[in-house]
Amino acid sequence: MLQIYNTLTKEKSPFTPIEEGKIKMYVCGVTVYDLCHIGHARVMVAFDVITRFMRSQGWDVDYVRNITDVDDKIIKRAAENGEEPHELTERMIAAMHEDEARLSVLRPTQEPRATAHIGDIISLVETLIEKGFAYPAANGDVYYRVEKFADYGKLTNKNVDELKTGARIEVEEAKESPLDFVLWKSAKEGEVSWDSPWGKGRPGWHIECSAMSKCCLGNTFDIHGGGPDLPFPHHENEIAQSEAANGCTYVNTWMHAGPVRVNSEKMSKSLGNFFTIRDVLEKYNAEVVRFFLARVHYRTYIDYSEDSLKEARVMLERFYQALRGVDAVEGPLENDFEERFIAAMNDDFNTPKAVSVMFELVNELNKATREGASEAPALAAQLRKLGGMLGLLQQNADEFLQGESEEGGLSNEEIEQLIVDRAEAKKAKNFAEADKIRDDLASQGIILKDSREGTSWFRES
């Protein structure tokens, strides 16, 4: 049985969906004012692995991940660029889709945009006003009355009185209480805006997700996920808005991915250790990056470093070396690798344990290959199947291991020609020349492997 750690209850518990066989999941997506960074990639990959595994077990997963395409940051960046906000967001959305495709992240079932749900947002704000949980202020904004919602702080164990101590009201705000947060912002001159009962304006950040999740999945759904920075205040505010408006539980299970640190420090532009997904993929193979992100448990932090990426590359090479030269063909097997892999994943998606099972399978496959055992093709198929549940090991082994040449290095064609030259030297019994070619290639990280079928090669990490 699948067990998931619930951020709300602070414990793992058996997962039972609202509707048998179907899982409704909403994950907070990206505010598209800039290129996605490695922290975004961590959340994308974590919930992609979760979705892939649940689907592999027969669940019908309706995976919704929103796009925030109207926001202060978007308006500010567009003004700096001298372009319209929608031009900026369209470019960034296209870039995001390119980045996630390279990381083999499947597109969500639904990808709602805030600007396409303005009517739903206005309707939700009106409901909150009618129920006394929100109020229009003199400055044209609409605010949520935090202290009216008795359960405020239940996700993150925040105490309202303690929160009030550190809160303050900005000069331009017209709140009743410093804890109140904005649902609808009145538009400044020249800003993108929509008509509303309170004048021209745009939605606050928190209300967008309450409206989009309700529209896509209903008043109550199974799983809500997101990044490590979202439990407070974003998800806390979503709960307050949705439960006050709808009069029922908002979400049954809350899941949050862990943060990314860079060489054990928090990633930030001010520290100069901020990396976009594109920065990373310029240096590292996309599947290596995905494996690096997926093999760490989704709730723990990841330490991004050169050594960590190199280690991930070496580990992934072990899988592909085992698959190399073996035709993966499904067949009967008497082992418990798949059973133990699934058990690990059913335990709150324990990818470190699942990957360790895959390495045991690699040892079994290597042994079968060495001994010429008949079950080698079935073991290779099993390894690819388990890897597929994590979005891994679907490439041709030779293509992965040979990769692309680095700048100034030998091309694949040049390597193949040198292998031909070496074979001709050996045929002419010029073993010194053959050995020199092998040694010269090895000095450039090109490793040759001779067999009865001929010579294969791969690029060493």
Please enumerate, by residue number, every residue annotated as part of a binding site. Answer: 28, 209, 234, 238, 269
Cα torsion through 189, 192, 194, 199, rounded to 10: -20
Do the bridges between strand 260-262 and strand 265-266 make them parallel or antiparallel, or are there none, so unpaired?
Answer: antiparallel
84 backbone dihedrals φ, ψ, rounded to 5°: -75, 145
What b/e sequence results for 7-24 when a residue is b if at least 16 CB atoms lie within 10 Å of its CB, and e otherwise?
A: bbeeeeeebebeeeeebb
Q: Cite the annotated binding site for Zn(2+) by residue number.
A: 28, 209, 234, 238
The distance between the two most distant Cα atoms of the chain, rounded to a whole number of Å, is 93
Q: Cite the annotated binding site for ATP by residue number.
A: 269
Which residue is it, tokens 């995905």?
290
Rounded to whole angstroms, the Cα distance separating 188 from 364 reads 66
- Position 443, amino acid: S
Secondary structure, 3-state, the chain: CCEEEECCCCEEEECCCCECCEEEEEECCCECCCCCEHHHHHHHHHHHHHHHHHHHCCCEEEEEECEECCCHHHHHHHHHHCCCHHHHHHHHHHHHHHHHHHCCCCCCCECCEHHHHHHHHHHHHHHHHHCCCEEECCCCCEEECHHHCCCCCCCCCCCHHHHHHHCCCCCCCCCCCCCCEEEEEECCCCCCCECCCCCCEEECHHHHHHHHHHHHHCCCEEEEEECCCCHHHHHHHHHHHHHHHHCCCCEEEEEECCCEEECCEECCHHHCCCCEHHHHHHHCCHHHHHHHHHCCCCCCCEEECHHHHHHHHHHHHHHHHHHCCCCCCCCCCCCCHHHHHHHHHHECCCHHHHHHHHHHHHHHHHHHHHHCCCCHHHHHHHHHHHHHHCCCCCCCHHHHHHCCCCCCCCCHHHHHHHHHHHHHHHHCCCHHHHHHHHHHHHHCCEEEEEECCEEEEEECC
Find out whether 175 and 88 touch, Cβ atoms under 8 Å.
no
